[in-house]
Amino acid sequence: MRIEILCTGDEILTGKTVNTNYSHIAQRLSEAGLEVYWGTTVGDDRVSLLTSFRQAAARADAVIVNGGLGPTVDDLSQEVAAEAAGVSLVLHEPWLARMEAFYARRNRPMPPNNRKQAMLPDGAEFIDNPIGTACGFAVTIEGTRFYFTPGVPREMRQMLEEQVLPRLLDNVGLQGVTRLKRFHSFGIGESRADEMLAGIKALAPGGGVKLGFQAHYPELETKLAVRGADQDELDRKLAPIETEVRRRLGNFIVAEDGQTLEAVVLGGLRARGGSLALAETFTGGAIASRLLQVEGADEVFRRGLVSRDPTELAAAVGTAAREFSPATALEICLALQQQSGATHTLAVLVTMERGAEAAEAGGAITIGLISPEARIVREARLVGGREWVRLGAVEMGLDNLRRHLLGLPTDERLDFERR
Amino acid sequence: MRIEILCTGDEILTGKTVNTNYSHIAQRLSEAGLEVYWGTTVGDDRVSLLTSFRQAAARADAVIVNGGLGPTVDDLSQEVAAEAAGVSLVLHEPWLARMEAFYARRNRPMPPNNRKQAMLPDGAEFIDNPIGTACGFAVTIEGTRFYFTPGVPREMRQMLEEQVLPRLLDNVGLQGVTRLKRFHSFGIGESRADEMLAGIKALAPGGGVKLGFQAHYPELETKLAVRGADQDELDRKLAPIETEVRRRLGNFIVAEDGQTLEAVVLGGLRARGGSLALAETFTGGAIASRLLQVEGADEVFRRGLVSRDPTELAAAVGTAAREFSPATALEICLALQQQSGATHTLAVLVTMERGAEAAEAGGAITIGLISPEARIVREARLVGGREWVRLGAVEMGLDNLRRHLLGLPTDERLDFERR
């Protein structure tokens, strides 16, 4: 089944807003095993909309339209959908009542404009929006089914998962349940991960598992998209593959699904009643920032210290180092531990190297880690320009702590290290 | 002139990569006063490409094609362009020589695949790529001019500015020079800025100035897009408007063009031989991180301290505060100044408030600032959820320092403050 994604709105057309709705919809369709065939973007313009609806109907088997369901005069999707389908607009009473209740709960009168959002093409299939005032709907235009979704990303995403994807899968006779299992790893590149997981799809009883990767440096996301008759079947298909992915990618997996590396680290500390103090250099507060964005981080995170200068950093903890070295890293950790009383202290020291071109510069990283059980130093030379080294050093510092907390080796070689 | 942007490639079509090339091209065209009329996305598929070229030719007056110029078999743009234009591919000798020289400079042999990148449709106009191996070209398909650009963002951007935009402006008979003047402000929302700048376009002698806004919270970007016969005319048109924008938006302008607030702050400190020490709470290292991403920041930035807990933060500088208050903010600044020897110390203390819904929570902010000239406290209550408050507090801390360094008032009310 060929699916077209049709995005509407002047803000998207003129590039004022980056079209992340498109990429989200396309990604979810692809993960569910559906074929994205065409993408179209048009503005809030009646003629463009009508033309694009007709062309999409001619070339695609299903169309997802995004945007144009708001209360203002620019929002033309319902109106043009009705025109293209050759029907009139009619009031959808239940949705009007839902909107009125929505405003009543907030003790505000419903603006009269919002009534427009309950006007749907005659005969349209209602698609619920549990969190906003723009309901969706489906109509058939020249033999092709069109699914209309709102432009607000949060609303679109929930409706896509709960309402649109199941309908599309039904239409193509695919079994109705899908799941996406995600592994986040650090230290292996996409092509090596692909090699490491060779043949893995064959482990699913009955097939129906799709393997994909998405690199967001420094992490790599490995995705298993599964389809099955019901949740039990998904469990049966996924279980052997999940186990095998964990076995093969092993210690490089830093988190799964909605988890993050920083939350895993904080969880590990919390589980043993631990606390953390941190010294950063070139990463400039980015390690602290990642940790402290996790809710509840303040129960575990004692303090962070940032300075680019070795002497200054040492002075701040009352020692007298002059340069970044393994000895300095441990010295800073120790002083920081005494000063803060934290059970765990981490120091991530970076010295940038100068290459012929910025992208070839690279950085030398020294990580010090002191816990009640160990004193560890890890050295590495990461490839890449300033931003690349910064991101890599943040991740490597956090990952060393994770590995130590989980009893894993902290000296496994990463693909991003210079030989 | 109606322009279509046609993006090609499976990674874009399936949403694996977010299409920022589209939004960049569309934005630059709009800023230059050109009309973006349609956007199309297709995969690396011969039939889709050919169909999309023909449809674009039928509806647009000019088409910018992005992607598909690489050396691999997936990259089909030249081939399909030739087919659509009804010509054959011919070797562009000068480009082949340029590529060979490019590899020779790097002491590597040119992979044989790259030869494909010098094969252009017969009669095509060559478009130079000064920084990569994918040259661009222009051909006419069914009466419409098509401009082919590479998918690598850095290469596409430079070629768009230097090669494609001037050709498009020429084609529509628009005068050949454009410029984009940008102001970055903090503290005023888009609709208020729009009111504050009412009528401003009329100040340009002869017109031809376009005013636009782009909100990236917490900053607002105000853009003046100007077109004129030559650079002198641009100067004449812009000068009175620039002056007036600076007058009306006044102290809220934190930076202009490619400058950033953090670079302005560091520049102000450097100019007076100053140095900075910093204490952060809820912002979790994000203030330090913004400053330290500026090259040369380490000459000025002495140290940063991060903790979510008032007692812990105070203990780290050797004082004994229990809660965040104006007195605590100054106390921490003073202790930090004595400890670090920095001329300027800044403390940004945040207490999150709990609302009925996350987005309504808000945060109370206390900023302390000590310099050789002054001791300042600024308090505010920012609206919004956790992430909103975090971003606002980072910006507000930096902006208070900027205002103090430039001798501006630090107590002007922001639109994001609760009344």
What integer pLDDT is reported at residue A259 of this predicted model? Answer: 96
B106 contacts chain A (CB < 8 A): no
What integer pLDDT is reported at residue B273 of this predicted model? Answer: 96
A41 contacts chain B (CB < 8 A): yes
What integer pLDDT is reported at residue B214 of this predicted model? Answer: 85
In this model, does residue A110 exceed pLDDT 90? no
The tens digit of pLDDT for each residue in A291-345 reads: 999 988 989 999 999 999 889 999 999 898 888 899 999 999 999 999 999 999 9
Residue of A nearest to B14 (CA): A26
* Residue in A48, A283, A304 closest to B306 by CB: A304
Residue B364's DSSP bridge partners are: B351, B381
Cα of A308 vs its chain's centroid, Å: 31
What integer pLDDT is reported at residue A404 of this predicted model? Answer: 97
- Mean pLDDT value of segment A232-236: 92
* Residue in A19, A278, A291 closest to B23 by CB: A19
What average pLDDT does chain A have? Answer: 92
Contact B18 A19 (CB under 8 A): yes
Residue B64 near residue B22, CB atoms below 8 Å: no
First-residue to last-residue Cα distance in chain A:
47
Write out the H or E segment, with its range, that includes residue A249.
helix A231-249
A313 contacts chain B (CB < 8 A): yes
A38 contacts chain B (CB < 8 A): yes
In this model, does residue B359 exceed pLDDT 60? no
Burial (Cβ within 10 Å: 0-12, 13-18, ≥19) of residue A66:
buried
What integer pLDDT is reported at residue A22 of this predicted model? Answer: 98
Helical residues (DSSP H) of A106-230, grouped into ranges = 153-159, 165-171, 190-196
Question: Which tokens belong to A263?
Answer: 């939350």
Give the SS3 label for residue B241. helix
Which of A10, A41, A11 lies closest to A25, judged by CA? Answer: A41
The tens digit of pLDDT for each residue in B307-346 reads: 998 899 999 998 988 888 999 999 999 999 999 999 999 9
Residue among A301, A312, A336, A350 with most chain B CBs within 10 A, to mutate: A312
Residue B385 near residue B361, CB atoms below 8 Å: yes
Q: Which long-range contacts (CB under 8 A, 24 or more apart) does A94-97 make?
A: A94/A126, A95/A120, A95/A126, A95/A135
pLDDT classification of A374: cutoffs 50, 70, 90: very high
B26 contacts chain A (CB < 8 A): yes
The tens digit of pLDDT for each residue in B182-200 reads: 999 999 988 889 999 999 9
> Using CA atoms in the order A274, A280, A285, A289, what is the torsion angle rounded to 10 degrees?
-20
- Mean pLDDT value of segment A174-200: 88
Please state, in angstroms and rounded to a whole number, the distance separating the CA atoms of residues A381 and A415: 11
Domain ranges (residues) in chain B: 2-172, 177-256, 261-406
Please state, in angstroms and rounded to a whole number, the distance separating the CA atoms of residues B116 and B72: 8
In this model, does residue B287 exceed pLDDT 70? yes
Contact A305 B309 (CB under 8 A): no
Using a CB-CB cut-off of 8 Å, the residues of chain B touching A7 are 39
Residue carrying structure tokens 């909100």? B215
What integer pLDDT is reported at residue B173 of this predicted model? Answer: 75
Which of B62, B55, B122 lies closest to B86, judged by CA? Answer: B122
Contact B286 A287 (CB under 8 A): no
Domain B2-172 falls under CATH 3.40.980.10: yes
Please state, in angstroms and rounded to a whole number, the distance separating the CA atoms of residues B18 and A19: 7
Using a CB-CB cut-off of 8 Å, the residues of chain A touching B279 are none
Q: Which residues contact B20 (CB under 8 A, 6 or more apart)?
A: A18, B153
Q: Which residues contact A384 (CB under 8 A, 6 or more apart)?
A: A359, A361, A362, A363, A392, A416
Burial (Cβ within 10 Å: 0-12, 13-18, ≥19) of residue A59:
middle
What integer pLDDT is reported at residue B178 of this predicted model? Answer: 80
pLDDT classification of A72: cutoffs 50, 70, 90: confident
Please state, in angstroms and rounded to a whole number, the distance separating the CA atoms of residues A274 and B310: 19
In this model, does residue A380 exceed pLDDT 90? yes
Residue of A nearest to B298 (CA): A308
**Cα angle vertex B400, ends B396, B403, to 5°?**
130
User: What number is the ipTM of this complex?
Assistant: 0.81
How many CB pairs below 8 Å do chains A and B form together? 191
Residue of B nearest to A41 (CA): B39
In this model, does residue B352 exceed pLDDT 90? no
The tens digit of pLDDT for each residue in A254-276 reads: 999 999 999 999 999 999 999 99
Contact A39 B40 (CB under 8 A): yes
Please state, in angstroms and rounded to a whole number, the distance separating the CA atoms of residues A352 and A361: 7
Q: Which residues contact A391 (CB under 8 A, 6 or more apart)?
A: A217, A218
pLDDT classification of A210: cutoffs 50, 70, 90: confident
* Residue in B37, B41, B298 closest to A39 by CB: B41
If you classify domain A261-406 with CATH, what class do you get? alpha beta
In this model, does residue B33 exceed pLDDT 90? no
Contact A308 B292 (CB under 8 A): yes
Please state, in angstroms and rounded to a whole number, the distance separating the CA atoms of residues A226 and A208: 6
The tens digit of pLDDT for each residue in B201-255 reads: 888 888 888 888 888 889 999 999 888 888 899 999 999 999 999 999 999 999 9
Which of B98, B139, B131, B128 lies closest to B115, judged by CA? Answer: B98
Residue of B nearest to A394 (CA): B289
What integer pLDDT is reported at residue B172 of this predicted model? Answer: 79
Which of B350, B419, B356, B346 lies closest to B388, judged by CA? Answer: B350
B residues 243-302 near A, CB within 8 Å? 278, 280, 282-289, 291-293, 297-298, 301-302
- Mean pLDDT value of segment A208-219: 88
Please state, in angstroms and rounded to a whole number, the distance separating the CA atoms of residues B189 and A75: 23
How many angstroms separate the CA of residue B221 from the nearest CA in chain A?
12
Please state, in angstroms and rounded to a whole number, the distance separating the CA atoms of residues B392 and B388: 6
Please state, in angstroms and rounded to a whole number, the distance separating the CA atoms of residues A413 and B71: 32
Query: What are the angstrom distances between the C-alpha of A271 and each of A261, A287, A374, A405, B124?
Result: 15, 20, 18, 10, 66
Residue B36 near residue B53, CB atoms below 8 Å: no
Residue carrying structure tokens 């940038």? A352
What integer pLDDT is reported at residue B374 of this predicted model? Answer: 94
Contact B303 A316 (CB under 8 A): yes
Using a CB-CB cut-off of 8 Å, the residues of chain A touching B316 are 303, 305, 339-340
Using a CB-CB cut-off of 8 Å, the residues of chain A touching B305 are 303-306, 316
pLDDT classification of A355: cutoffs 50, 70, 90: low
Which of A23, A122, A37 lies closest to A66, judged by CA? Answer: A23
What integer pLDDT is reported at residue B205 of this predicted model? Answer: 84
Which of B230, B301, B231, B306 lies closest to B270, judged by CA? Answer: B301
Helical residues (DSSP H) of B272-325, grouped into ranges = 286-292, 310-316
In this model, does residue B358 exceed pLDDT 60? no
Burial (Cβ within 10 Å: 0-12, 13-18, ≥19) of residue B155:
buried
The letter for the amino acid at A326 is: P
The tens digit of pLDDT for each residue in A152-178 reads: 999 999 999 999 999 998 887 776 678
| Three-state SS letters, B338-397 | HHHCCCEEEEEEEEECCCCCHHHCCEEEEEEEECCCCEEEEEEEECCCHHHHHHHHHHHH
Contact B30 A14 (CB under 8 A): yes
Which of A190, A187, A214, A249 lies closest to A383, judged by CA? Answer: A187
Q: Which residues of B13-49 are buried (b: 16+ CB within 10 A; e: fewer)?
A: bbbbbbbebbbbbbbbbbbbbbbbbbbbbbbbbeebb
* Residue in A15, A301, A313 closest to B308 by CB: A301
Give the SS3 label for residue A134. coil
B346 contacts chain A (CB < 8 A): no
What integer pLDDT is reported at residue A360 of this predicted model? Answer: 61
The tens digit of pLDDT for each residue in B47-94 reads: 999 999 999 999 999 999 999 999 888 899 999 999 999 999 999 999
If you classify domain B177-256 with CATH, what class do you get? alpha beta
The letter for the amino acid at A179 is: R
Residue B351's DSSP bridge partners are: B364
How many angstroms separate the CA of residue A123 from the nearest CA in chain B?
30
What integer pLDDT is reported at residue B177 of this predicted model? Answer: 76
- Helix, strand, coil proportions of chain A in percent (round to 5)? 40, 25, 30
Query: What are the angstrom distances between the C-alpha of B268 and each of A155, B211, B275, B278?
Result: 44, 29, 10, 16
In this model, does residue B357 exceed pLDDT 60? no
* Residue in A38, A285, A307 closest to B285 by CB: A285
Residue A362 near residue A383, CB atoms below 8 Å: yes
pLDDT classification of B6: cutoffs 50, 70, 90: very high
Residue of B nearest to A306 (CA): B304
In this model, does residue B165 exceed pLDDT 80? yes
How many angstroms separate the CA of residue B91 from the nearest CA in chain A?
31
What integer pLDDT is reported at residue B336 of this predicted model? Answer: 95
Strands (E) in B71-176, as ranges, are 89-91, 119-121, 125-127, 136-141, 144-149
Contact B23 A30 (CB under 8 A): no
Question: Which tokens belong to A279?
Answer: 């010294």
Query: What are the angstrom distances between the C-alpha of A137 and each of A50, A134, B73, B368?
Result: 17, 10, 41, 53
